[in-house]
A and B are shown apart, each in its own frame.
Chain A
Amino acid sequence: MRKPKVAFFDFSSCEGCQLQVANFGEALLDILGLIDVVMFREAISEKSDDYDVAIIEGSITTSHDIERIKQIRATAKVLIAYGACATIGGINGMKNNFDLEDIKKYVYKDDAKYFESIPTHPLHQVVKVDYFVHGCPVYQPEFVKVLKCALAGLLYTVPDYAVCTECRFNENVCMYDKGITCMGPVTRAGCNSWCVNNGNICYGCRGMLSNPAQEGQMDILKKHNIALDWVQNKMNMYNKPRELDTEPPANNGHIG
């Protein structure tokens, strides 16, 4: 059987998620036994317009990006949104907090007129996405799971329950018990509470639950004396483009 051709692409991003692939170590050899990487800027020089699976890092931030992602979508049989920038807009989404012209001037000063910019969009707001690998950066074991599902033609369902669930499985001491605010209760799981296992808080990089309990969450903030602005800023660090969703992506953690 011919090995499926896989190409990596990057849009607005730090390319750190692709670096996660290069960081696999020996496990990468097993993965390469399964696929034929035809384009991967981080590690090889070859280029190709012939691919079956497109793995896309980065978010859509210019109208040129829109044309380019549509072209990739038209070529690829399977399109995987890879990393927070691609799945939820990620850090780039912070620009949506500001007036577009203002933020352009802030970044490019007098040269702002040479740059065209649109609000940050995750991929699914522009093209159909078949698989989502959330995270900033992606959690390697989850990427492998998604890749296997994509190649086997199986559905991968992103967990639509809180990071707290996996955090309890790992028996971490709750950050709130330590007097520290953590985004775990509103963030979708699937990362095996990676950050908390290593002594950090959850930053919400995997995106919000489909149905976060607004009233209950406000209650918790009040009880712990946490300012709403502060949490909003934390949430918007990754999740701002969520406002531009017309409907939640079908396989982004929902059965159906």
Chain B
Amino acid sequence: MQRFVILSKKDLDAFISALAQSQKVVAPVARGHNNFSFAEVSSGKEITLKYIPTILPPKKYFLPTQEIITSYNKRENALNAILEYEKMVIFGVHTCDLAGIQCLNMVFADKPKDINYIIRKNKIAIIGLECNDYCDEYASCHVVGNHLPNGGYDLFFTDLGDVFIVHINTMLGDELVNKAAVFKSADAKMLKALESLRQMKHSIFKDEVNVKHQELKPLFDRSSNSKVWEDLNKRCVACGNCTNVCPTCYCFDIIDEPNLDLNTGVRYRRWDSCQNEPFAKVAGNENFRKERSQRQRHRYMRKFKYPVDKYSRYFCTGCGRCSRTCMAQIKLKETINDLAKETQ
């Protein structure tokens, strides 16, 4: 049976403050100029509940931008695995970002398993937050099926005016609720209100592109040689913003760095991007994806084609970050529509 509880909005501050007493709590915080980021908070007052997707998605807590993975000692010929993690609660994760975390979970649990990722993930509690309406015109969450919650959280908050109705999805979520002692049971009226909100969302959220969900993959299957990529070649400046802010891009580079004694040192991994000039460059100065058109195509294929072949799932979460952050104003919705128009 599904379990729901109610949190009065005025008690949110008490809930967050109490949580922050015992562990790190991160939540969306306003940064000005309509930018937001997940950052540590100590009270509910610091949180912005109505926010558009943050600059970086919550993946930064699962896969840090830079992470030491081993230390070495040349003289002793030793290599030691290093894992740094922190117990934390992420509050206010939208459904697009919940989907992003689910995608990363699939990738990093696949063979070879990424132990650092998996252990870190198991220390993170996730509290979702429903979007009752679109964040802005860049989002395309409906066409990829992420405008409604599909699991991937411990608790899930939905704003019903004066209260949040909260879905308890895991034992960890249950513990958080019991410990806080500010939640009340949800009566039939509240459940009905949640149901009518979801009904209303059906009329608000529509496919954002001229291609249906199940047609996206076939569209990309036949778009390898599209002229649309040539257009992107002219516009893209390869700043790498699109992949860095993507909730499902996970490529990293591995770098060794000696300590000052030159005998010991560390190996760390750092986010990398297929948009960067040296990404596909190898010894001899050969570059397998020298053209920005090839790199942009690769990025799109990594969202709409390759992961569908491998994991039966779109890796575009519809969050709209890549379009929002693009220096050249390359918009995902436009690209999809252009591809569709061309191959009609």
Contacts and interface: CB of A to CB of B under 8 A. Distances in A.
Interface of A: 30-31, 33-34, 144-145, 148-149, 151-152, 154, 157, 159-162, 164-165, 168-169, 171-174, 176-178, 184-186, 209-213, 215-217, 219-220, 223, 253-256
Interface extent on B, as a size class? 35 or more
B237 A220 contact: yes
A165 B278 CA distance: 13
Given A169-B66, A185-B327, 11 more contacts: A154-B256, A160-B277, A161-B240, A164-B241, A165-B241, A165-B273, A171-B37, A172-B55, A173-B31, A216-B236, A255-B278
Nearest to B54: A171
A213 B55 contact: no
Contacts of B235: 215-216, 219
B262 A152 contact: yes
19 contacts: A31-B260, A148-B260, A157-B278, A161-B238, A161-B273, A164-B241, A169-B56, A169-B66, A172-B55, A173-B35, A177-B34, A211-B277, A212-B237, A213-B236, A216-B237, A216-B327, A220-B237, A223-B329, A254-B285
B273 A213 contact: no
B283 A164 contact: no
Contact of B65 (A162, A169, A178, A210): A169
A161 to B, nearest CB: 4
A164 B102 CA distance: 27
A178 B33 contact: yes
Nearest to A215: B234
Contact of B292 (A161, A177, A213): A213
B271 interface: yes
Contacts of B32: 173
A152 B31 CA distance: 42
B281 interface: yes
A164 B240 contact: yes
B132 interface: no
B239 to A, nearest CB: 4
B313 to A, nearest CB: 25
Nearest to B286: A256
Contacts of A144: 260
Contacts of A168: 55-56, 240-241, 244-245, 325
Contact of B260 (A34, A217, A254): A34
Contact of A169 (B35, B236, B261, B271): B271
